[in-house]
Amino acid sequence: MLDVVLPILIFAALALALAGALRRIGLWRQGRAAPVQLLAGLAAMPRRYLVDLHHVVARDKVFANTHVATGGGFVLAALLLIAVHGFGLESRVLAWALLAATAVMFVGALRVAARRKDPPARLSRGPWMRLPKSLFAFSVSVFLVTLPAAGVLPAGFGGWALAAVLALVVAWGLGEMFFGMTWGGPMKHAFAGALHLAFHRRPERFGGGRSTGLKPLDLNDASAPLGVGKPVDFTWNQLLGFDACVQCGRCEAMCPAFAAGQPLNPKKLIQDMVVGLAGGTDAAYAGSPYPGMPVGEHGGDVHSPIVLREGRALVDADTLWSCTTCRACVEECPMMIEHVDAIVDMRRHLTMEHGNTPNKGGEVLENLAATDNPGGFDPASRMNWAADLDLPLISARGSAEVLLWLGDGAFDMRNQRTLRALVKVLRAAKVDFAVLGNDELDSGDVARRLGDEATFQSLAARNIATLAQYRFEHIVTCDPHSFHVLKNEYPALGGHYDVSHHSTYISQLMAAGRLALGQWSGGKVTYHDPCYLGRYNGEYEAPRNALKGIGIKVVEMERSGFRSRCCGGGGGAPITDIPGKQRIPDMRMAEINATGADIVAVGCPQCTAMLEGVVGERAEVLDIAELVAAQLAAAPAQRVKEEVTA
């Protein structure tokens, strides 16, 4: 009997899966066009899956092995199932291979079940709780129906009753694994995920590359939407990317806004986008909600606004404005979903179409348009901090080896100390450097992340025009935000530069023996990785090398390197200031204090401001430039003496 039933079941499930796949593809295709290499993407997909995706999954060794067993076992079992039972190929070898595949899958399913026994809070429940059972159903039933084919049991063993039961269990397994894959069960991640990897909007991320710069809007095209107001405004491969989510919640576990109790959970946001593309409400969502917001009150469809000014839609504006754009979610996501891109896309719509940037957002954007800096300071006062330093202006010299990019920290009294320290270090190493002076404008980082692409592009275009007038080899800056924007976001607008963070440059100066440095004799030091230097640009080593160069042994925090936690200062978050239960910098300072460090070394004006704003007992916040400059002791004095004798 099974000889008849199994092929029917298998091909029925496949046909339904195919229909579901076409429907799902139709849902994604509602999005806007995107430049995607279809064939090259599909060809690259297996490698992207086996290497790049696995690289992220393998951060959790136990689960990586579980997934290899379950997923690998299933793919092999499914192919052999179609061959052996679908087409009825009579081959002992294939049958034994199928037995082995289902056995491996079964072992994987055991591990999945163990994890689901008492799942961590980050995992979604709901349909995901039945997944291990479905895996068992598929692997066990396929194993059993294959035993006769492998010659272990005689054909017709157990009679029709057993065959009927087995057929039912096979149907369950096929229902979850084939039908559910394209009609929206937990297995949807396999289908959507594979295509998402193939048609990813940032193919540069695969093969060890990095792609973190936001994509520019074409403001000359008056018909293009300004950001994303409705789910259809996303590109189709963004919609596909949302659908690939496995709801593992690794993003949620890393999100600083979620931890601070602000109304953002990256996982829920992606699921809300899935609700948006398929239509419906979030009532079926079975994971952690946005802190402080009950599930089931939001919903929408692909042609309705995502955010309403009054009332409820898919997402509340506060959710979008809670993000610090720290990219911890993107870094952690095993499906390589681009949360930050989506959030900025939606912010663009709120800012550029509705002028709804919360709190100080509007004021900051107005300042940027009118004074080219977020604080509204007189642009002619940008160099006041260096009145006594006699800094060489590149406009007077035309060229320099290093162009020192000051950033808006030039207006901030705390950051001015860092800048002065950096100048001291550069002078000690006799670096040929110059500054743009008052011709420098804000890099546009904050404007862009607040969704004001127009102001960003205006600032960027003018900065690029200024920079084009001069010759220099590198740009060095102590602001990772300027660093990122100059390095990764200006190229799309025609500005290509060799940009270094000051920690990178200082560590190079040290390696070249250009700095005479004393040895650190102070207290314990830990290092806080800035998001825009670390996760955005992969620079984890240089700051540590610079500290090592003055004899500092960095006491690492639990969350450091690519898992460093944001200070709360990115993405305009201090400007939009969405309330939560606690402040992100307070949480970070608690982590710093937990190391017992007396000093936290930083490399970003934002981090400095956020961490210094923490009240109560805390480690001292010092920039790497300040720590290095303090060890220069003897060097400048010698130089003065030389000059005097000469």
Partner 1 sequence: MRREDIKQVQGLKVAALVSVGRHPVTGRPRRADFDARAVEMGLSLVAPENMSLLHAGECSPERESALRGYLGMGIGALDVLDQPPEADIVPALEARLREMGARLVLCGARGEMGEASGLVPFLLAERLGWSLVSGLAQIESVDGDSMTVLQALPRGQRRRLKVRLPAVVTVDAAAQAARQSAYGPARRGELRRIEGEVTPDAAARDWNTAPAKKRPKRLKIVKAASARDRFKAAAAKAEGGGGQVLTGLSPQAGAEAILKLLREEGVLR
Write out the residues near partner 1 by the rule CB under 8 A.
222, 226, 310, 351-357, 361-362, 365-366, 369-371, 376-379, 452-454
Ordered DSSP codes for 223-258 = TS-SS-SSGGGSBHHHHHHHHT-----HHHHH-HHH
| Cβ contacts of 266 within 8 Å, gap of 6 or more | 251, 252, 255, 258, 329, 339
Q: Do 147 and 179 contact (CB within 8 A), yes or no?
A: no
Looking at residue 15, the DSSP 8-state letter turns out to be H
Q: Quick one: 365 or 486, whose CB is closer to partner 1?
A: 365
CB of residue 397 to partner 1, shortest distance in Å: 26
Q: What are phi and psi of 331, to 5 degrees?
A: -60, -35
Shortest distance in whole angstroms from residue 314 CB to partner 1: 20
Q: Between 463 and 608, whose beta carbon lies closer to partner 1?
A: 463
Report the nearest approach of partner 1 to the CB of residue 220 (Å): 11
Query: Between residues 304 and 371, which has the closer beta carbon with respect to partner 1?
Result: 371
Single-letter residue type at 307 = V
For the bound state, the minimum distance from the C-beta of residue 357 to partner 1, rounded and expressed in Å, comes to 6
Minimum CB distance to partner 1 smaller for 7 or for 379: 379
Distance in Å, CB of 454 to partner 1, minimum: 4
In angstroms, rounded to a whole number, what is the distance separating the alpha carbons of residues 194 and 316? 30
Q: Name the nearest CA neighbour of 200 among 346, 330, 319.
A: 330
Closer Cβ to partner 1, 207 or 355, answer by number: 355
- Name, in order, each residue with C-beta under 8 angstroms of 408's C-beta and a sequence gap of 6 or more: 373, 374, 375, 442, 479, 605
* Alpha carbon distance 407, 437 (integer Å): 10
Closer residue to partner 1 (CB): 279 or 379: 379
Q: Are 447 and 365 in contact (CB under 8 A)?
A: yes
Q: Which residue, 301 or 366, is less far from partner 1 as judged by CB?
A: 366
CB of 376 to partner 1, least distance (A): 7
CA dist 211 and 205 (Å) reads 6
| Long-range contacts of the stretch 292-296 (C-beta < 8 A, 24+) | 292/261, 292/263, 293/263, 293/319
Distant-in-sequence, close-in-space partners of 38: CB < 8 Å, separation ≥ 6: 198, 199
Q: How far apart are CA 232 and CA 539, in angstroms?
A: 36
216/379 with CB nearer partner 1: 379
Identify the burial level of 264 via C-beta atoms within 10 angstroms of its C-beta, where 0-12 means exposed, 13-18 middle and 19 or more buried.
buried
Q: Tell me whether residue 324 or residue 367 sits nearer to partner 1 (CB atom).
A: 367
User: Is the Cβ of residue 297 or residue 353 nearer to partner 1 in the bound state?
Assistant: 353
CB 451 → partner 1: shortest distance, Å?
10
For residue 297, the one-letter residue type is E
Q: How far apart are CA 517 and CA 622, in angstroms?
A: 17
Full DSSP string of 138-174? HHHHHHHHHTTTTTSS-TTTTHHHHHHHHHHHHHHHH
Shortest Å, Cβ 444 to partner 1: 14
Q: Residues with Cβ < 8 Å from 383, sequence gap 6 or more?
A: 391, 410, 435, 437, 438
Residue 139 or 458: the one with the smaller Cβ distance to partner 1 is 458
* Nearer of residues 74 and 385 to partner 1, judged by Cβ: 385
Strand partners, 544: none
Residue 353 Cα distances to 226, 324, 439, 563, angstroms: 7, 22, 30, 35
Q: If we measure between CA atoms, which residue out of 212, 275, 206 comes closest to residue 239?
A: 275
CB of 378 vs partner 1, minimal distance in Å = 5
Q: Nearer to partner 1 by C-beta: 130 or 215?
A: 215
Least distance (Å) from partner 1 to the CB of residue 219?
Answer: 8
In the complex, least distance from residue 311 CB atom to partner 1, rounded to whole angstroms = 11
Closer CB to partner 1, residue 162 or residue 369? 369
Name every residue whose Cβ is closer than 8 Å to that of residue 605 and which is 6 or more positions away in sequence. 407, 408, 409, 412, 414, 415, 418, 478, 479
Nearer to partner 1, 366 or 591 (CB): 366
Q: How far is the CB of 354 from partner 1 (least distance, A)?
A: 6
In the complex, least distance from residue 322 CB atom to partner 1, rounded to whole angstroms: 19
Residue 369 near residue 398 (C-beta atoms within 8 A): no
Helix (H) or strand (E) holding 422: helix 413-428
Query: How far apart are CB 416 and partner 1 at their closest, in Å?
Result: 20
With respect to partner 1, which residue has the nearer C-beta, 222 or 387?
222
Is residue 582 within 8 Å of residue 261, measured between CB atoms? yes
Q: What share of the chain is helix, strand, coil (3-state, %, to 5)?
A: 55, 5, 35
Q: What is d(CA 596, CA 295) in angstroms, rounded to the nearest whole number? A: 40
**Residue 357 CA to its chain's centroid (Å):** 23
CA angle 603, 609, 612 (to 5 degrees): 100
CB of 489 to partner 1, least distance (A): 18
Least separation in angstroms between CB 360 and partner 1: 11
